Chain A
Amino acid sequence: MSETKNPLGLSSIPSVSSEGLVPVGRRTSLSSYLAALWNRRHFIIAESRAKMSSSTRKNILGYGWLFLNPLLSVLAFWFIFGYILGTSRGIHNFLGFLVVGVFFFGYTGKCMTGGTGAIRSGASMIKGFQFPRAALPISTVVRNFLDFMPTLLVMVIVLAIAPPLEEITWRIVLVIPVVILQTIFNVGLACFLARLGHKIPDLTNFMSIVSRFWLYGSGVFFSIEDRLDNHPALLAAMQYNPMHAYLTLVRNSLLYGVDTDPKMWIVGTVWAFGLLIVGFLFFWRGEENYGRL
C-alpha cells in the first residue's frame, strides 16, 4: 500500500481505478431525484404518520383529539363572537366565515412553521439514512394534511347543523380542488422555507410574526374588501394573496353557495404550481448541505 519503488528507483504513487465508483452524497439530476423521491413515498407516509401518532400518543384520548380540538375551537369562537360579543361586522354568517378562515389558514400556517424546522427536526434521520431530503418537508405537509382531514369533516358537519343553516349547493364539491391547490401550495412553501430555515436558523423566530401579518392580510377575521376601501392600492395587492384566494373560494362554495370570480381560481392555481416549482428547485439545489447543522 505504501510507496513502491520501481526498477528505475523512482517512487511511484499507487494507482487505483475509479471505474464503477461514484462520488458520494452528491446532488443527483432532477429526474433521478424525483424517481428516488417517488420510491420513498411509503417512507414519507410512514414518517408523517409516525410524527402524528407520536404527538397524540402521550394523550389519554389519543386520536380523539384530532376531532375534539377543532370542535372545541369552534365552541370557543361561538362563545366569544356569537354569544358574548354578538358581533357580525356586517358579514353574513360571521361564525361560519370565521371558522373557515381559521381552519384553512391554520393548515397553511402549520405547514409554514413545520417546514421551517423540517431539516432541524429530521436531523437524526438525515444522519442515519440516505434519502432524498425533500421527503422531510413533504412529510410535514402530509402530516398536517392528515391532521386537517378530521378538522374539515368537523367543520362541514358543524356548518351543516348549526344555525344559521346554509343551503347546501353542488358547489360544496369545489372545496376538494381548493384543498388540493392549497396542499400543492403548502408543499412548495414547506420546501422553500426548509432550505431557508436550515440556512438561517433565526427564521423560526421571525416566522411567527410573518404568519400573524399574513393572517390579518388574508381576511381571516374580517373581509378585507370592506376594511381596505380607502386604500385601493393595498386592496389590489391583497387580491393576489394566495390565502385570500383560497379562503374566498372555500367560503363562496361552502357557506354562501355562490360562484366565485374566475380570477380567484387563476390566482390560486398560479400560486400553487408556481411556488411548488420554485420551492422544490430551491430545496433541491441545496441538497448537499443539509447534513451540516
Chain B
Amino acid sequence: MADSEVQEPNIIAENVQVRYTVNTNDPGSRATGVRRLTNKIVGRQGQTTVRALRGVNFVAREGEMVGIVGANGSGKSTFLRNVAGVEQPDRGRILVRYQPLLLGVSAALQPALSGSENVRLGCLAMGLSPEEAAEAFDYVVELSALGSAIHRPMGTYSSGMGARLRFAIALAARPKILLIDEALSTGDATFAERSERAMDELLAEAGTVLLVNHAAKVIQELCTRAVWMHRGEILMNGPAEAVAEKYRWWAWNVAKGKEDIADKLLADVVSNAVKEEINILEPELIKNPIPRHAARPSKTKAAPARHVKRQDTVDEVEETPTPMLAAAEEQVWPKSFDAEMPKAKFPALPKPASQAVSAPRITDAPPLRLNPSKKRVVLRAANPNDRASSVAAADDFTGRRLASRARQIADERYEERQRLRQEDDSHVVHQDSNR
C-alpha cells in the first residue's frame, strides 16, 4: 500500500452525497392535510427522500483496479454514475484526470440498428472522427467476437452479446478510466478472458478501472483493491482479498438467513470502520501559497517607467575606490574606556548595480526553464478544461512509449493470473483425488 501513495490519483471523490426524492406508497410516509388531497388528485401517495450516498471519500490511483462490493441498494451504481459525470452529486465533488466511461447493463444503443451501425454510432458519440471509427471497427468486431452477428439488428442480440458489443465499443475509444457496472457478468468464459486482457492493457497504460460485481470471487481475482459499500457509505477499503472475503462471509450468512451472525459480522466491521477523510491539495495553493489578494502588489509602488524597462544595455558602473572606514584613522586603543567609543561611521556606499536605474530589475523571479530530465510524464486529456476531450491521443509520444510497455505489463499480469488459477485448479484436483 505504501508505494500506491506515490502513484498519481486518477479519481478523487470528496464527501459525495446524493439524495433522491421519489414517490412511495409506504402508508407510513403519507402526507397530511392539503398535501394529501393534492396527492390524491394527481394519483400519488407520498414522497420520500432517499439518501443514496452519505459522504463518500474515495481515491483511485493510476494502474489500480478497484472492486466495489455491497448489497443491492447500497449505492454502488449511484456512485459510478456520479463518477462518470452523468449526474452531479448534491454535495461534495469528484475530480478526475480523464473523462470516465461508464459501462452499464441498461445502456442500450439503438435496438433497431444493426450491430455494426451501433458500433459506428457509439464511436462517434464518444468523440471519434469517422475515420477513427472506421479504424476501430475491426478492433471492436475482434474483441466482441460476435462474428456475422455483428450485421444483425441489436434488438435480436442476447443480453450477453449486447454486453460484449458495448464493452468492445467502450474500449475502442481507449478510455483511461473505465467504470464497469456488472456489465461483464453476463459474458461467457471466452469473453471473460478477452475482456480481462483488454482491461490489463488499460491498467498498464496508467488507467483506472472501477468494477462493480456481486461475485466476490471475480473481485478477488481481478482487483488490486476493494471497497465495501453499505447504505451509501464505505465500510471497508483495503486489499481485495481481505475485503471481498469479509463481504462474502457476510453475504453468505444473509443469504442463509442467519441474520444474527450477519448482523454481528456487520457490527464488527462497522465498529472498526473509520470514516476516511482526504485532504485535497489544490495545485494553485501548492504553487502559490499566498492568496492572490494578499500577494497583490501595493498600488503605491510606482511602476518603472517604460523607457527604463525597454533599455536592454546595462550602463557600466564606475569603479570607485573603497573608502577607508572613518574610524580607521586611529587604530590605537584609547587609554581609558570611559570615554565613549567612537562610533563607526559608514560612508554611503555606491548603489549596487542591481539597483542602478539602468539595470534590469532582478526582483522578478527568473523565468522557469523546463528541465527535461526532471519533468515527470503526466498523461492527460488534450484540454483538461474540456471534458469532451476524453479520447487520449493514441499516437503521441507518451502514448507510444506506454503502449510498448503496456503490452508487456499486461502479459505479465495475465500470466500471473493464469498461474494462480492453475494452482487453484491443481489444488482442487488434488483434493478430489484424495477423496
Contacts and interface: CB of A to CB of B under 8 A. Distances in A.
Interface of A: 1-3, 13-26, 28-29, 32, 35-36, 39-40, 42-43, 46-47, 50-51, 53-54, 57-58, 124-132, 288-289, 291-292
25 contacts: A13-B279, A15-B281, A16-B279, A17-B280, A18-B12, A22-B95, A24-B84, A25-B82, A25-B84, A25-B94, A29-B385, A42-B129, A46-B121, A50-B110, A51-B110, A124-B106, A124-B109, A127-B81, A127-B104, A128-B107, A128-B109, A129-B122, A129-B125, A129-B126, A130-B388
Contacts of B278: 13-16
B298 to A, nearest CB: 31
A39 B388 contact: yes
B394 interface: no
B124 interface: yes
A28 B386 contact: yes
Given A1-B1, A23-B93, A127-B106, A292 B127 contact: no
Contact of A32 (B12, B94, B286, B385): B385
A276 B211 CA distance: 42
A164 to B, nearest CB: 43
Given A24-B99, A50-B117, A289-B88, A131 B127 contact: yes
Interface residues of B, number: 66
A54 B385 contact: no
A128 B81 CA distance: 10
A262 B228 CA distance: 69
B12 A47 contact: no
A61 B276 CA distance: 62
Given A21-B96, A22-B96, A25-B88, A130 B385 contact: no
A42 B9 contact: no
Given A2-B237, A40-B124, A58-B112, 16 more contacts: A16-B279, A17-B280, A19-B283, A19-B286, A20-B384, A24-B99, A25-B86, A26-B85, A28-B386, A29-B385, A43-B124, A43-B125, A54-B113, A129-B101, A129-B125, A129-B126
A194 to B, nearest CB: 17
A16 B99 CA distance: 19
B383 interface: yes
A267 B326 CA distance: 91
Nearest to B381: A22
Closest 9 CB pairs of A and B: A25-B85, A54-B112, A36-B388, A128-B107, A291-B86, A19-B283, A21-B95, A43-B124, A24-B85
A24 B384 contact: no
B113 A53 contact: yes
Contacts of A51: 110
A247 B280 CA distance: 59
Contacts of B112: 53-54, 57-58
B213 interface: no
B425 interface: no
A51 B406 CA distance: 39
B65 to A, nearest CB: 15
Contacts of A17: 9, 280-281, 283, 286
- Select the residue from A126, A130, A289 with max chain B CB neighbours within 10 A: A130
A126 B86 contact: yes
Contacts of B130: 42
B263 interface: no
A77 B215 CA distance: 63
A125 B104 CA distance: 11
Contacts of B378: 20
Contacts of B385: 22, 28-29, 32
B87 interface: yes
B364 interface: no
